[in-house]
Amino acid sequence: MSETQMNHPSRRPLIILAIGDVLSLTLFVLLGRQSHSEALTLQSVLRTTAPFVLAWFIMASVLRAYRPILLTSPRVMFMQSLVAAIGTGALGVFLRAGLLHIQVIQTFLLVAIPTVALLWSAGA
């Protein structure tokens, strides 16, 4: 994306939203790692966060969650993004398992879906 496209007034709020979404997912990982007394090193946090960020951008792309038109319709944007957040929780758990070559932990799946959705909606 060129600097002109990034600085376009209609894109700035979308970029801010995307940054907020990544921060929400990072908070999810930090809270989870801390609650399980796991290391909070940059590498461990990035390794856990990356699958969820990838899942979010896949879901957001499929559902077109970053369309400028949605900025004028907050209710529609919230509902569409909430669906993407729920999908992100599930897809993120599976991507994490695949990328780290570990099994899907069912309780993590049950915790990740509502927690990602809750943190995302709190940030929205």
What single-letter DSSP state applies at residue 74?
Answer: H
- Count the domains in the chain: 1
- Identify the pLDDT of residue 71: 77
10-residue stretch averages of pLDDT, the chain, 124 residues long: 54 84 90 91 93 92 83 82 88 94 91 84 64
Instruction: Specify the pLDDT at position 123.
Output: 60
| DSSP per-residue letters across 25-58 | HHHHHHHHHHHTT----HHHHHHHHHHHHHHHHH
pLDDT computed for residue 90 by the predictor: 92
Provide the residue range defining the domain that includes 79.
Answer: 3-123
